[in-house]
Amino acid sequence: MLGGIVDLPEDPPRASVVLTHCFTCNKDLKAIVRIGRGLAEQGFLVLRYDLTGLGNSEGDFAQSNFSANQADLVAAVEYLSTTYQPPSFLIGHSFGGACSLSTAEQFPSVQGIISLASPSDTHHLADLLERMDPEIPAKGIGVVRIGGREYVIRQQMLDDFRRHDLSEKLRQLTKPVLLFHSPEDETLGFEHVLRLFSLLSQRAPTDSEAPPVSLMCLPGADHLLVKQPADIPFVVDTIATWCARQLADDQT
């Protein structure tokens, strides 16, 4: 079972959103809470949830991987669709953004994806975790310290990260995308969002038509969006305006 919270607007929702957190984070991360509540104040219904083994969700984090993250997002979309209404938008922070971008095409109701400080591939995280604890490939299991907490990492997780080809999924995406990234991101360099923009907007003749892609820079922001107090209100306002535009376009 997955744990989640629904942030409800006072009036009937303009649209609904599924919000996915970053690697080793949870739905109660300060930025995730403020974005969810901020969008609810602007009329959107937001489901923020915990991935397997994190926060209030059941399961073993060490047994999870990117494939499991994708399955969790599918479950969250199904829950929102049956309990409230199908989501019109997916929002993902960091690895949650990669998860949202890689699964969005399978949801007919989704009209757009918002990516916050997301990577352009899943392979880099496998390499990073391996550097953090070389025992993982040697013994098949290790421990890494992230954000002051220790996490057990198994080789199966790294293998799964390396199996996914995010670039292939991005070249097939037909839904509009809004990308946020800081040029000073200390966790994921700005080159990641530039590659995302390129993969989404530049297509080969054999690929599907490129969707509208917007890139919003957040100068001075950190990866978790806590350094600059003005960042979250700006992000929330921009997301709400962009989503309203997508909804209006869909009605014409």
d(CA 52, CA 117): 21
Residue 209 predicted with pLDDT over 90: no
Question: Mean per-residue pLDDT for 193-218?
Answer: 92
d(CA 141, CA 247): 46
Work out the pLDDT band at 251, boundaries 50, 70, 90: low
d(CA 51, CA 193): 23
Question: Mean per-residue pLDDT for 214-241?
Answer: 96
The full set of domains in the chain, from first to last, is 4-120+169-251 (3.40.50.1820), 123-163 (no CATH)
Residue 252 predicted with pLDDT over 70: no
Contact 43, 13 (CB under 8 A): yes
Work out the pLDDT band at 214, boundaries 50, 70, 90: very high
**Share above pLDDT 90 across residues of the chain, in percent, rounded to a whole number:** 93
Residue 239 predicted with pLDDT over 80: yes
**Share above pLDDT 70 across residues of the chain, in percent, rounded to a whole number:** 99
Summarize pLDDT for 84-104 with one digit per residue, the tens: 999 999 999 999 999 999 999
